[in-house]
Amino acid sequence: MNVLKLFCATAVLIAIPTASMAYGVGYPDTYSDLLWRVSSNVPGLSGCTELQVDATGDLNKSSKLSIYGALNCPQQQGGSYGVVGGAYFGSDGSFNMTLIVGSSTTLECTRLSSSLSGSCVYYNTSGATLGPAYLTFR
């Protein structure tokens, strides 16, 4: 039994440096004032024509970004909605982003082109489709 414990302890000690070298700590960058023109006919959101966000992540060590900002709407519509979410670059070079808009809507953009523009879909909190949106990166 003591031999088994010694073997296990030795295996763990050997594995620790290898595992710790595989993990690298990066330094995130923040990309400020990223702007998309938004067009949509979704009721309550059709006048919201600009998505303005900041994105933070370490693109040298990861393809993921944390996103936060606003979906800008006219004052008559109640002003802007706060947005928060995440994005990543796919292995095929596509840009994928999911944002919570306000408290009751999700904007999901899958496989946007390398120009970061393309079709997205608004969903409600139940996951039902509210309608399409088109984002054009500026």
Domain 29-137: CATH architecture, name and number where available: Beta Barrel (2.40)
For 74, which DSSP code? -
Residue 114: phi and psi, rounded to 5, are -65, -15
Spell out the residues 6+ positions from residue 102 whose beta carbon is closer than 8 angstroms to its own.
71, 81, 82
The C-alpha torsion from 57 through 24 and 114 to 98, rounded to 10°, is -50
Q: pTM for this one? A: 0.80
Q: Where are the domains of the chain?
A: 29-137
**Residue from 53, 60, 61, 64 nearest 31 by CA:** 53
* pLDDT at residue 17 tops 70: no
Cα dihedral sign, 136-115-68-122:
positive
- Give the Cα separation of 97 and 15 in Å (integer): 36
Q: How confident is the model over 24-80, as pLDDT tens digits?
A: 678 899 999 999 999 999 999 999 999 999 999 999 999 999 999 999 999 888 889
**Cβ atoms of residues 133 and 38 within 8 Å:** yes
Looking at the DSSP assignment, which residues form a beta bridge with residue 99?
Answer: 85, 107
The whole-number average pLDDT for the span 127-138 is: 97
Q: How many CA atoms lie within 13 A of 73 on its CB side?
A: 20
What is the average pLDDT value for the chain, to the nearest integer?
Answer: 87
